[in-house]
Amino acid sequence: MAKYESHALTSTKLVVRSYDEKKSLQLRVLVHELFFQRQVSRKMIVRQLKVSPKFVRRWTSASEQDLTADGRGWPKGKRRTLDVQTAERVKEIHQFLERDPRQFFSGATAVAQEWRFRYPQEAPPALRTIGRILAESGLSGHRRIAKAKGAARYLCYPEHTIYHRGRVLEADFIGKKYLGGGEPLNFIGFSFKKEPKLRHFQYVTGQTTDQIIEHCRRFFRLFEKPDYLKVDNCGATIGSGNAKRTLSRFVCFLLKNRVIPIFSVPRKPFSQASIEGNNSVFSRKFWNRRTFTSREDVCTQLEWFNQASVRYTEYSRPHAKDPAPDFVPQILFIRQVAPDERDARFGFISILNEKISLPASYVNYFVLARLNLKHERLEIYFEKEQKAKCIKQVRFTINLNKKSKGGSLSFDQ
């Protein structure tokens, strides 16, 4: 029987793949046919068509039933007619958001949020409906096309291993911006990729270690202290570009605060996709759309932008967790294996300016290196299908002459 079921479904596989964006009615007919005419079990239909058991039970409850029945409340084949008041409210809110200098978002999500504030007793229309009203009124902007992420997945970027360890904050300096008089300004951006999401930006005097430490400390106080902080491999964060096996002041600062540093892939901006995306929002929604008269004006409007961003993402601070009594000081490095030009049998990654060899079969793939500072051991993991396996372990001793000021690897607060 199972063989027959498989054959019946195989003959419809090509058809089913095209059903993702078609009307539910066609899928109902297919489910009904497979169950009553081809005798395919409900369990097999659920598994192969990737629909819910409830959907299958509903449309196989009787051999004679009206598959065209729906509960929309308006005629089939006709678009839902919105009342004039709803459309006018949406347009009015959009215009308010566009005119108010303290507002920076005016799309469907922002309109729905303002609707809930103005009319707390009435639920806002669906986001899709708001978007349609804005589009038909010529008030919607151009939609940005999402970039494909196939290469990162194909090369086994350790996404799952990184973001399922705990709360991960990303931080990055934003490239220099210039006022009308030519004065360069520097900013730092913070981003939480996972819920509760948040984006926050701050003016900094320069891209230095002192500045990133100061503003990380400020962020921890204002919002929350993450489990991990993911940053780029710049001098302000990772330290010296020449000294081997040394810890930067920034790394020591994080570990003393029980935050584990994660260093992204060098020269691969997509490995900081969340913060790079938020830096793009900073440019599109703030810097490129406003005129500034001075540095003070920039900072004032930036504060408005941060307040609008908190409201837009609907961020709320999570409940504080008790500090883990068994915190292990460690550093994570995301690296892409490069070919070893001296020996074709091997590839390598660079960890704190030290080359670590790996089999050539891993060349071009991404790996995650975990440096356990307590046991001075480096473990390298390869993630495949959301499962990570350790492919190498080596002893990794930190340079005793370049440790923190106390001359020890104690990171107690």
Looking at per-residue confidence, does 93 or 78 come out higher? 93
pLDDT over threshold 70, residue 6: no
pLDDT tens per residue across span 106-119: 889 999 999 999 99
Give the neighbor-by-neighbor strand order of the sheet with 338-339. Answer: 338-339, 346-351, 354-359
In the prediction, which pLDDT does 182 show? Answer: 78
Say which residue, 412 or 337, is predicted with more confidence: 337
According to the model, what pLDDT value does residue 242 have?
Answer: 80
Of 262 and 20, which is predicted with more confidence? 262
What's the pLDDT score for residue 37?
Answer: 85
Q: What percent of the chain has pLDDT over 90?
A: 44
Fold of the domain spanning 150-317+327-413: Nucleotidyltransferase; domain 5 (3.30.420)
Q: What is the pLDDT of residue 407?
A: 45
pLDDT band, very low/low/confident/very high, at 76 (cuts 50, 70, 90): low
In this prediction, residues 273-289 reach a mean pLDDT of 81
18 pLDDT more than 70: no
How does DSSP classify residue 386? Answer: T
Please give the backbone phi and psi of residue 18, each rounded to the nearest 5 degrees, phi first. -90, 5
Burial class (CB in 10 A: 0-12, 13-18, 19+), 200: buried
Residue 20, pLDDT above cutoff 60: no
Residue 96 has pLDDT above 60, yes or no: yes
Helix (H, G, I), strand (E, B), or coil: what is residue 321?
coil
Which candidate, 187, 204, 229, 196, places its Cα nearest to that of 309?
196
pLDDT at 92 over 80: yes
* pLDDT of 149: 54
What confidence score (pLDDT) does residue 302 get?
95
Q: Which residue has the higher pLDDT, 394 or 152?
A: 394
Give the per-residue pLDDT at 413.
54
What pLDDT digit, counting tens, does each position of 137-182 carry? 888 766 665 555 555 666 778 888 888 878 999 999 987 788 876 7
Give phi and psi for 338, each to the nearest 5: -100, 155
Query: How many C-beta neighbours within 10 Å does residue 406 have?
Result: 9
Q: Residue 114: what pLDDT?
A: 92
What is the token pair recorded at 68? Answer: 């065209």
Q: Which helix (H) or strand (E) holds 390?
A: strand 387-395
Residue-range domain boundaries for the chain: 2-58, 84-136, 150-317+327-413
**Given a cut of 50, is residue 13 above it in pLDDT?**
no
Residue 75 has pLDDT above 60, yes or no: no
Predicted pLDDT at 67: 76
Give pLDDT tens digits for 266-278: 876 665 666 677 7
For the segment 225-270, what is each residue's pLDDT rounded down to a tens digit? 999 999 999 999 998 778 889 999 999 999 999 999 999 998 766 6
Q: Give the tens place of pLDDT for each residue, 46-67.
A: 888 888 888 888 888 888 887 7
pLDDT at 278: 77
Q: How many CB atoms lie within 10 A of CB 384?
A: 10
* pLDDT of 87 higher than 70: yes
pLDDT at site 406: 41
Residue 249 has a pLDDT of: 95
- What pLDDT does 263 receive? 95
pLDDT value, residue 47 = 85
C-alpha distance from residue 111 to each of 29, 84, 299 (Å): 38, 17, 26
Q: What percent of the chain has pLDDT over 70?
A: 82
Exposure b/e, 1-16, CB count within 10 A at least 16 = b: eeeebeebbeebeeee
| pLDDT on residue 21 | 36
Choice between 79 and 179, residue whose per-residue pLDDT is larger: 179
Strand 198-204 to 228-231 pairing? unpaired
How far apart CA 382 and CA 366 sit, in angstroms, is 7
In angstroms, what CA-CA distances link 170 with 227, 228, 248, 319, 354? 11, 8, 18, 20, 25
pLDDT at residue 157 in the model:
82
pLDDT range class, residue 22, cuts 50, 70, 90 = very low
How do residues 322-377 score in pLDDT, each as one tens digit? 777 788 999 999 999 999 988 888 999 999 999 999 999 999 999 999 999 999 99
Q: What is the pLDDT of residue 71?
A: 59
